[in-house]
Amino acid sequence: MDENDENVNRQVENNRRRNARNRLRRDEINNQQNARYAGRHERMHCIARSNTIPDYNYLGEMNHICQHCGAKKFPDETHFLCCHNGKVVLSQLSPFPQDLQDLFTGSYVDQNANVNFLKYIRNYNACLSFASFTANVVQPMNHGPPYFRICGQVFHRVGNLRPDQDIPPTNCQLYIYDPLAAINFRMRQPGNDLCLNDLMFRLQTVISEENPFALAFKNMAEVEDKEIRQAAIEGRSVSVVKMFLLEGQDRRRYNLPSHNEVAVVFVGEDGAPPASREVVIYPRGHPLKTISSMSANLDPKVYPLFFPRGDAGWHNQLVHNPERATLHGVLGKVVTHVHVIEFQKHGLPHVHILLHFATDDKLETAQDINSLICAEIPDPIINRELYDVIKTCMIHGPCGILNPNSTCMKDGVCSKNYPKEFNANTVVVHNGYPRYRRGDNGLVINIKGNNVDNRWVVPYNPWLSKKYQAHINVEACMSVKAVK
């Protein structure tokens, strides 16, 4: 054996000894902490750490009808939730157009149209909306649906009365076109090839004839055409025509608005109100106008199928109830919390929540963590219900060599670091996430034709998983370094 081989062997032996010392030191620290916190589990009595089997969070059927206002409620909702037991009386919303009502209830004369409407309702609504929501679509690197990223606040915008040169009309601009020409533009928009032409035309007719915003844009077009003709007769330049989309005087009034109540058109600068928070529509040549997220008219402009008659989506006198029923202390006594709501690539929202527990409920030992968090497949014989939830909602991937095209794969490696390693015991890591107990016990689940074991389980709380039967990832953050 030459000198180089001896150096290599010596280095390997030194590394082995150092790793052994580190393992002994970690075990010593864990044993000291377990001794220090022995008995504190007597004080940690939150429900999510107990063996209590929760009932599935089923609210029942919404078949309880309020005798005062006619609201549909779940069985456990009180008489005060809707109208304060008859003390609050609101005017009725504007009557829903019959064709739209039939489509929403599945009783439209054309059964094929019923099915197509509900299946592609977002396409129909987007085509008929008065405001746009635009973004740069990003094609995923791996297999998966296209997506776009939103940074900060979401904005909805409304355009000019007429499109600029060489740009096809869209949204509010189509309501001033001939109906046949408008329907051709709508049906040619991306993603509408599976929509029904006759149904799109019928919906366009309903909104065009009964929606006050559609009538307001038609009125502006008529005023502009009249001004152009009058200017030609008088031999002068055409005065500026612009329309102010108004917020209204009293959004608590639920009467049917007319186009004069939602917008006002001015010709020239004389007599026109100064620029304000109302959206101003010009004939052409101006940038898109952003609609305030606080606007009572935002919902009816963006969702004309839900607000076909232009009823205000909300008003700022709506009362928030700070005493709504909430189950507190499920995971322990929370001192502070932070949460962020995000939208996944397929459009559904999810939330990241960081909880700061009181001293008695903090997760400081392996025993604490095991009492709240599990990263193993439940026994299908002992706990079949939890097993089914974990199989459906809490298995990662699979990815890696089992599925190289998984969306989590980056440069040939899982970005979430799955599969994890087997661990006979939970190991506390004080500057990150713990290494959860993942026993090599032989339990496997078949996912997409692949057998996966405890290395693929996303950490969860059994009580929350059984209660809500959904994907709820629960982790112990042992340091601020672990916070995303």
Question: Could you tell me if 337 and 477 are in contact, meaning their C-beta atoms sit under 8 angstroms apart?
Answer: no
Question: Could you tell me if 243 and 216 are in contact, meaning their C-beta atoms sit under 8 angstroms apart?
Answer: yes
Distance (Å, whole) CA 297 – CA 313:
6
Amino acid at position 405, single letter? N
Element (H, E) at 231: helix 212-234
Number of helices (H), then strands (E), belonging to the chain: the values are 13, 13
Contacts of residue 414, Cβ cutoff 8 Å, sequence gap at least 6? 397, 399, 400, 406, 408
Cis peptide before 419 (omega within 30 of 0): yes
Q: State residue 160 phi and psi, 5-degree precision.
A: -75, 175
Question: Could you tell me if 371 and 47 are in contact, meaning their C-beta atoms sit under 8 angstroms apart?
Answer: no
Report in angstroms the alpha-carbon separations of 87 from 73, 79, 329.
17, 11, 34
pLDDT number for residue 465: 92
Q: What is the DSSP letter of 257?
A: P
Distance (Å, whole) CA 183 – CA 163:
16
Tokens 């003709």 sit on residue: 229
Q: Is 141 helix (H, G, I), strand (E, B) or coil?
A: coil
CB atoms within 10 A of CB 331: 21
Q: Is 285 helix (H, G, I), strand (E, B) or coil?
A: coil
Q: Is 338 helix (H, G, I), strand (E, B) or coil?
A: strand
CB atoms within 10 A of CB 73: 17
pLDDT number for residue 13: 76
Burial annotation 20-45 (CB, 10 A radius, 16+ → b, else e): eeeeeeeeeebeebeeeeeebeeebe
First-to-last alpha carbon distance for the chain, in angstroms, is 50
CB atoms within 10 A of CB 475: 18
Tokens 């607000």 sit on residue: 307
Tokens 């009595």 sit on residue: 45
Distance (Å, whole) CA 75 – CA 61:
7
Distance (Å, whole) CA 336 – CA 334:
6
Q: Give me 245's structure tokens.
A: 């989309």
pLDDT number for residue 124: 92
Burial annotation 280-316 (CB, 10 A radius, 16+ → b, else e): bbbbeeeeebebeeebbbbbbbbbbbebbbbbbbeee
CB atoms within 10 A of CB 205: 14
CB atoms within 10 A of CB 243: 25
- Does the model's pTM come out above 0.75? no
Report in angstroms the alpha-carbon separations of 1 from 7, 15, 281.
10, 20, 87
pLDDT number for residue 362: 86
pLDDT number for residue 284: 62
Name the region of 417 (left: φ>0; alpha: ψ -120 to 50; beta: rest).
left
Distance (Å, whole) CA 44 – CA 37:
11
Q: Is 427 exposed, middle or buried (0-12, 13-18, 19+ CB in 10 A)?
A: middle
pLDDT number for residue 340: 86
Question: Could you tell me if 125 and 100 are in contact, meaning their C-beta atoms sit under 8 angstroms apart?
Answer: no
Strand 64-65 versus strand 72-73 pairing type: antiparallel
Distance (Å, whole) CA 425 – CA 284:
68
Tokens 């009580």 sit on residue: 463
Element (H, E) at 187: helix 179-187
Q: Give me 292's structure tokens.
A: 């305030």
Radius of gyration of the chain (CA): 31
- pLDDT tens for each residue of the chain, 484 residues long: 566 666 657 776 777 777 777 777 767 766 666 665 555 555 556 777 767 777 777 888 888 888 888 888 888 887 777 887 777 766 566 788 899 999 998 888 898 999 999 999 999 998 888 877 655 556 666 666 666 555 545 666 676 767 777 778 778 778 878 889 889 888 988 888 899 999 999 999 998 888 888 888 888 888 888 878 888 888 888 777 777 666 654 433 334 455 455 555 556 555 444 444 456 665 666 666 666 666 777 788 888 898 888 877 665 555 444 444 455 678 888 888 888 887 765 556 788 899 888 888 888 888 888 989 999 999 998 889 999 999 999 999 889 888 888 888 888 899 888 999 999 999 988 777 889 999 998 899 998 888 999 999 999 999 999 988 999 999 988 876 656 6
Element (H, E) at 101: helix 98-105
pLDDT number for residue 422: 93
Distance (Å, whole) CA 257 – CA 213:
9
